[in-house]
Amino acid sequence: MKPPRHPWLLTAVATLITAAFLLPVYWMAKTSLTPPDRILTPSPQWVPAPLTGENYSTALDYEGLPRALLNSLVISSGVVAVTLLLGVPLAYALARVPMRGSGGMVLALLVAQLPPAIVLAAPLFILERRAGLDDTYVGLIAADTTLTLPFTVIVLRPVLRSIPRELEEAALVDGCGLLGVLLRVVLPLMVPGLVAAAGLAFLIGWGEFLFGLTLAAGPDVQPVTVLLNAFVGQHGTSWGALMATATLISLPVVCVFALFQRFIVGGLTAGSVRG
């Protein structure tokens, strides 16, 4: 493949696209550092002057924030655990076990990602109310897993198919059972895929708003995304505190992806040749 004739042009286009995606993030952080009386000025300021931490003080003084952060951490961690616990065996079965209808199962998983969360909210609310799981961590984790599980299986299936079968067959010949092959041979080879699936499951669990609003009646189990509504009042919106809270909420996700970026990118591209 010949190198591009004008690599600087591709770099410029990529830079513009990246800047367009990062502009809302910058504006959120900028607003969180802007004095409240200067946020809605007619001429917007690209650089806040003077810088202030008043908005963060207002956000941190809100009594429900620590509980909401804990709820989001519990829910996100639970979503990651349940997603991997169910997704790895299902992806392994679809990748390795010859059975009728496997193609239809993969198609069903693809279709399951199409409906928006608002379509699933009402049926899940009815099912969890009857099962007594509404307004509980288990109910919220189960609801969020309906969003993460199909994507996880679709990501991990090609990763598993890219692993040579000979390694598993050799382990079986050496007396290792099917579970031992999965735990000792397969899982160590698919670490990038597992990290990618876990990172995206954490992102969805941490940022989910609709299920936290509809399936949890009170602040005892509601995630921190629902807490953002507290800064939207009948007579106005506290934009400074709202943006400060949103920035604080974004930091864990940024840290996770910064630490595991190499694994996430490698996991999403693993098995792309042999799908």
Q: At 232, which CATH number?
A: 1.10.3720.10
Residue 5 domain-assigned (yes or no): no
Is a pLDDT exceeding 70 seen at residue 39? yes
Q: What's the CA gap between 131 and 170, in Å, rounded?
A: 45
Q: How close are the terminal C-alpha atoms of the chain, in Å?
A: 23
Is a pLDDT exceeding 70 seen at residue 28? yes
Residue 131 domain-assigned (yes or no): yes
Q: Give phi and psi for 190, each to the nearest 5.
A: -115, 30
Residue 238 domain-assigned (yes or no): yes
pLDDT tens string 207-217? 888 898 888 88
Residue of 149 and 4 predicted with greater confidence: 149
Beta bridge partners of 161: none
Q: Give phi and psi for 236, each to the nearest 5.
A: 155, 175
Residue 4 domain-assigned (yes or no): no
Poorest-pLDDT segment among 1-10, 19-28, 112-121, 191-200: 1-10
Residue 47 domain-assigned (yes or no): no
Residue 50 domain-assigned (yes or no): no
pLDDT for the residue 263: 66
Q: How many CA atoms lie within 13 A of 201 on its CB side?
A: 34
Rounded to an integer, the average pLDDT of 52-70 is 86
pLDDT tens string 70-107? 999 999 999 999 999 999 988 888 888 777 777 788 88
Residue of 9 and 143 predicted with greater confidence: 143
CB 208 within 8 A of CB 223: yes
pLDDT for the residue 233: 64
Is a pLDDT exceeding 80 seen at residue 30? yes
Structure tokens at 17: 């696209």
> Residue 181, Cβ neighbours under 10 Å: how many?
20
pLDDT for the residue 75: 94
Residue 1 domain-assigned (yes or no): no
Is a pLDDT exceeding 60 seen at residue 271? no
The average confidence (pLDDT) of the chain is 83
Top-ranked range on mean pLDDT: pick from 80-89, 163-172, 262-271: 80-89
Query: Quick one: pLDDT band at residue 274, thresholds 50, 70, 90?
Result: very low
Number of domains in the chain: 1
Is a pLDDT exceeding 50 seen at residue 275? no
CB 163 within 8 A of CB 190: yes
Question: Which residue in 7, 269, 18 sits closest to 159, CA to CA?
Answer: 269
pLDDT for the residue 236: 66
Is a pLDDT exceeding 80 seen at residue 231? no
> Residue 122, Cβ neighbours under 10 Å: how many?
10
CB 216 within 8 A of CB 222: yes
Residue 35 domain-assigned (yes or no): no
pLDDT for the residue 141: 94
Query: Quick one: pLDDT band at residue 145, thresholds 50, 70, 90?
Result: very high
Alpha carbon distances (Å) from 47 to 40, 43, 59, 243, 248: 14, 12, 21, 15, 19
Query: Quick one: pLDDT band at residue 193, thresholds 50, 70, 90?
Result: confident
Range(s) of the domain holding residue 192: 58-269
Residue of 168 and 125 predicted with greater confidence: 125
